Amino acid sequence: MPVDLERLIQKALKTRDTKGATLIYKITNEAELHDPNVVKVTLNQSSQALYFSRSLIPFPRSPQSSNFNAWRHLGVYFFKRDFLLQFDRWSQSPLEQTEQLEQLRILENGETLLCVEAENDGVGVDVPQDVALAEKLMKKQRL
C-alpha cells in the first residue's frame, strides 16, 4: 500500500545513520509462525533487525516467555544508493545461503537494517500457492 511505502521512506530518512530499511507486520495467524515460507524477524530495542529466519524466532521455550511479538518480513526495502551498490558487491554470506534470505548478507557484514511496522498486511509471491492469495488481496483492495 502506498501509505506503508511512504511510512518506510519517512522513517528511514528520519532515523539517524539508516542505510537500509524494510517493512514488517505483526504475525497474528498461528499457522504463519510455523510456515517456512513466512520469513520471521526479531528486533532490538531500536527496531533494527537482529536476525531473519524461516523458523520461529525467538523460540518461546516456556509459557512465561509467550509475551513477545512475532514479526513477518514483508520483503519491501529502502536502500540509500551507495549502500545498495555496496550490498551488491558483497558475496553471498553463509547464513544467507543457509536460510536463502538475502537480507542476512547485510547483518553478516556488520550493517543494520531498520524495521518499520506496516499498517497493512501484504503477501509475498514466493511459491505457486501464493498467487491465489495475492489475487484475493488485490481484489479486496481493488488494485
Q: Model confidence over 9-51: pLDDT tens digits?
A: 999 999 999 999 999 999 999 999 999 999 999 999 999 999 9
Q: All domains of the chain, ordered by start, with CATH?
A: 2-140 (3.90.550.10)
pLDDT at 60 (0 to 100): 82
Ramachandran region, residue 83 (left: φ > 0; alpha: ψ -120 to 50; beta: rest): alpha
Measured in degrees and rounded to the nearest 5, phi and psi for residue 38 equal: -100, 115
